[in-house]
């Protein structure tokens, strides 16, 4: 026998085949499908992204409640793990869920660096994984995997659209400010490509370490840049601080960004955020039956307003439900499971979405402007925008 990695899924498959050859033909698979489905929720429940993790979790739970507490006929047992948005702990935390807790499905996470740790583990184990936020491009480009699906975005998508929108307004020169890690740097690249595609010029990328919130060294450089706009990627607590500091510094250069800059943060940012334009796959004022029902249910459950993170969690659970229903809860039928997930069209609160061949979400990207404390949608910048997905071989 040649040297081969026997992952958990192939081991399980061999035992199913053995059972089929010797004893009851489908009994084992039926018994598995009758067991509760163990779902690991690996998310940040502390630190700068804690609120994002909470809203993703509430979105997942909301869908499950709509389904009467079962997916594909199986009860669901959640195992929650706080990943603290610490990339150095990513692999060991993912291993804990996959190898110690034996989860059937992993939903996670928010931070792109932590996602790389999860990806390494689940690519090897074959565990079905749904990404409800982290946008690092590699996992649906050169490192794509048939067992990994993303219901959020790539860091490239909203930033590219923001660059396009700025160029369309006639802005010729802009810089990008962000944390120095995958989400920040990849969004800068998307912004640059969008700006240049519209005839603008990307001047510079300015960064601070994640999760640093002393932004004065960045803000102090703006006047010398000679730009007509500053774009930015920050999120959670860091975004609240950045927008407040930007306004307090009295900088006249308009601020824009990936929509995370003002998403789920407006209460904390207050008047400092008014007028900021951002690009994202969700926003306020989407008057559809699906979105209205979702927002009402989310508010009733959490007493908070829904945001993009809640939507992404809800859609991760929607996609999982679609897969599990197609195979009646039997995850071992992975061919049918993945086929159902790959070909579905989901009625999301954000609008209609599908999966790209690389398992990333294809979706409309909206231009929003903060108006009276809301991210009001002004227009659709890019319809059904897919990430380039370069280098993916499945
Ligand atoms: C990321 O690390 O990919 C990320 C974190 C927060 C918001 C958006 C993206």
CATH number, domain of 345, equals 3.40.50.2300
Task: Tell me which residue has its CA closest to atom 6 in ligand 1.
Answer: 235
pLDDT of residue 32: 66
Asked if residue 80 is part of any domain, the answer here is yes
Largest CA distance in the chain: 76
Is residue 231 within a helix (H) or strand (E), and if so which, with residue range?
Answer: strand 229-233
pLDDT of residue 18: 41
Q: Among 263, 280, 297, give the residue marking a domain's end.
A: 280
Task: Tell me which residue has its CA closest to atom 3 in ligand 1.
Answer: 134
Asked if residue 91 is part of any domain, the answer here is yes
Q: Which residues, 6+ apart, have CB-to-CB distance to 238 below 8 Å?
A: 48, 179, 211, 212, 213
The answer to whether the CB of 382 falls within 8 A of the CB of 156 is no
Same domain, 319 and 272: no
> Measured between alpha carbons, how far is 76 from 325 in angstroms, rounded to an integer?
13
pLDDT 10s digits, 379-393: 999 999 999 999 999
In ligand 1, the atom with minimum distance to the C-alpha of 181 is: 2
> Measured between alpha carbons, how far is 253 from 55 in angstroms, rounded to an integer?
32
Task: Tell me which residue has its CA closest to atom 5 in ligand 1.
Answer: 111
Cα-to-centroid distance, 153 and ligand 1 (Å): 10
pLDDT 10s digits, 72-121: 999 999 999 999 999 999 999 999 999 999 999 999 999 999 999 999 99
> Measured between alpha carbons, how far is 364 from 350 in angstroms, rounded to an integer?
8
Cα-to-centroid distance, 182 and ligand 1 (Å): 9
Cα-to-centroid distance, 26 and ligand 1 (Å): 42
Cα-to-centroid distance, 135 and ligand 1 (Å): 6
In ligand 1, the atom with minimum distance to the C-alpha of 114 is: 2
N-term to C-term CA, the chain: 24
DSSP labels for 285-301? T---HHHHHHHHHHHHH
The whole-number average pLDDT for the span 56-83 is: 98
Cα-to-centroid distance, 120 and ligand 1 (Å): 18
Asked if residue 7 is part of any domain, the answer here is no
Q: Which of 344, 388, 348, 351 is nearest to 366 (CA)?
A: 351
**113 - beta bridge partners?**
none
Q: Which residue shows structure tokens 């979706």? A: 363
**Helix, strand, or coil here: 303?**
coil
Q: Among 257, 280, 303, give the residue marking a domain's end.
A: 280
Same domain, 162 and 247: yes
Asked if residue 209 is part of any domain, the answer here is yes
**Helix, strand, or coil here: 343?**
helix
* Tokens found for residue 382: 């890019």
In ligand 1, the atom with minimum distance to the C-alpha of 113 is: 2
Cα-to-centroid distance, 252 and ligand 1 (Å): 27
Asked if residue 136 is part of any domain, the answer here is yes
Q: Could you tell me the pLDDT band of residue 26, with boundaries at 50, 70 and 90? A: low
pLDDT of residue 334: 97
pLDDT of residue 16: 42
Which long-range contacts (C-beta less than 8 Å, at least 24 apart) are formed by 193-197? Answer: 193/156, 193/160, 193/163, 194/159, 194/160, 194/161, 194/162, 194/163, 194/164, 194/165, 194/166, 194/167, 195/163, 195/164, 195/166, 195/167, 195/171, 196/163, 196/167, 197/163, 197/164, 197/167
Torsion 25-29-33-35 (CA) sign: positive
The whole-number average pLDDT for the span 264-270 is: 97
Between 2-16, 100-114, 128-142, 364-378, the lowest mean confidence (pLDDT) is in 2-16
pLDDT 10s digits, 32-43: 667 999 999 999
Same domain, 164 and 149: no
Same domain, 183 and 247: yes
pLDDT of residue 30: 65
Query: Domain residues for 166?
Result: 156-280
Cα-to-centroid distance, 325 and ligand 1 (Å): 30
Of 42, 43, 86, 134, best ligand 1 pocket probe by most atoms within 8 Å of the beta carbon: 134
Same domain, 276 and 293: no
Asked if residue 210 is part of any domain, the answer here is yes
The answer to whether the CB of 164 falls within 8 A of the CB of 198 is yes
Same domain, 160 and 233: yes
Q: What angle do CA 258, 260, 261 make, to 5 degrees?
A: 80
Q: What percent of the chain has pLDDT over 90?
A: 91
Q: Helix/strand/coil (H, E, C) string of 81-135? A: EECCCCHHHHHHHHHHHHHHCCCCEEECCCCHHHHHHHHHHHHHHCCEEEECCCC
Same domain, 245 and 178: yes
Same domain, 163 and 265: yes
User: Among the residues of 270-371, which ranges form H helices?
Assistant: 289-302, 308-326, 334-343
Cα-to-centroid distance, 239 and ligand 1 (Å): 11
Of 109, 114, 135, best ligand 1 pocket probe by most atoms within 8 Å of the beta carbon: 135
Cα-to-centroid distance, 227 and ligand 1 (Å): 26
Classify 119 in phi/psi space as left (phi over 0), alpha (psi -120 to 50) or beta.
Answer: alpha
Residue 252 burial by CB count (10 A; 0-12/13-18/19+): exposed, middle or buried? exposed
Same domain, 98 and 134: yes
Cα-to-centroid distance, 305 and ligand 1 (Å): 20
Q: Among 218, 252, 280, give the residue marking a domain's end.
A: 280
Cα-to-centroid distance, 389 and ligand 1 (Å): 18
pLDDT 10s digits, 206-233: 999 999 999 999 999 999 999 999 999 9
Same domain, 252 and 316: no
Q: Is the predicted pLDDT of residue 6 greater than 70, yes or no? A: no
Asked if residue 377 is part of any domain, the answer here is no
pLDDT 10s digits, 275-320: 999 999 999 999 999 999 999 999 999 999 999 999 999 999 999 9
> Measured between alpha carbons, how far is 392 from 139 in angstroms, rounded to an integer?
9
The whole-number average pLDDT for the span 250-266 is: 98
Of 112, 153, 257, 313, best ligand 1 pocket probe by most atoms within 8 Å of the beta carbon: 112
> Measured between alpha carbons, how far is 261 from 277 in angstroms, rounded to an integer?
9
- Ligand 1, residues at Cβ distance < 6 Å: 49, 110-112, 133-136, 155, 183, 235, 260
In ligand 1, the atom with minimum distance to the C-alpha of 134 is: 3
Same domain, 232 and 290: no
In ligand 1, the atom with minimum distance to the C-alpha of 85 is: 2
Asked if residue 326 is part of any domain, the answer here is yes
pLDDT of residue 34: 77
In the chain, the number of structural domains is 2
Q: Is the predicted pLDDT of residue 20 greater than 90, yes or no? A: no
The answer to whether the CB of 222 falls within 8 A of the CB of 211 is no
pLDDT of residue 29: 62
Same domain, 184 and 76: no
């Amino acid at each position: 026998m040649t040297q081969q990695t026997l992952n958990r899924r192939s081991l399980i498959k061999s035992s199913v085949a053995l059972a089929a050859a010797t004893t009851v033909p489908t009994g084992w698979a039926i018994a598995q499908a009758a067991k509760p489905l163990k779902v690991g929720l690996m998310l940040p429940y502390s630190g700068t992204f804690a609120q994002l993790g909470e809203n993703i979790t509430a979105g997942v739970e909301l869908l499950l409640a709509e389904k009467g507490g079962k997916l594909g006929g199986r009860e669901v047992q959640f195992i929650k793990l706080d990943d603290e948005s610490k990339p150095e702990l990513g692999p060991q935390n993912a291993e804990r869920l996959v190898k110690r807790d034996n989860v059937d499905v992993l939903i996670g996470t928010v931070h792109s660096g932590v996602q790389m740790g999860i990806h390494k583990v689940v690519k090897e184990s074959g565990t079905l994984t749904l990404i409800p936020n982290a946008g690092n491009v590699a996992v649906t480009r050169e490192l794509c995997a048939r067992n990994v699906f993303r219901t959020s975005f790539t860091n490239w998508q909203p930033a590219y659209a923001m660059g396009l929108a700025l160029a369309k307004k006639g802005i010729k020169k802009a810089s990008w400010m962000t944390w120095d890690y995958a989400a920040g740097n990849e969004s800068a690249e998307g912004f640059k490509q969008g700006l240049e595609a519209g005839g603008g010029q990307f001047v510079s990328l300015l960064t601070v370490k994640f999760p640093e919130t002393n932004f004065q060294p960045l803000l102090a450089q703006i006047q010398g840049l000679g730009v007509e706009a500053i774009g930015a990627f920050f999120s959670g607590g860091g975004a609240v601080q950045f927008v407040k500091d930007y306004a307090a510094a009295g900088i006249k250069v308009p601020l824009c960004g990936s929509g995370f800059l003002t998403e789920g943060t407006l209460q904390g940012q207050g008047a400092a955020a008014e007028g900021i334009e951002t690009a994202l796959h969700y926003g306020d004022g989407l008057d559809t039956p699906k979105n209205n029902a979702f927002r009402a249910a989310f508010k009733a459950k959490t007493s908070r307003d829904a945001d993009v993170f809640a939507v992404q969690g809800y859609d991760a659970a929607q996609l999982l439900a679609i897969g599990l229903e197609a195979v009646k809860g039997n995850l071992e039928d992975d061919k049918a499971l993945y086929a159902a997930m790959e070909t579905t069209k989901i009625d999301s609160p954000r609008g209609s979405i599908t999966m790209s061949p690389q398992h990333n979400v294809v979706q409309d990207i909206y231009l929003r402007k903060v108006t009276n404390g809301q991210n009001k949608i002004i227009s659709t910048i890019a319809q059904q925008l897919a990430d380039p997905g370069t280098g993916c071989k499945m």
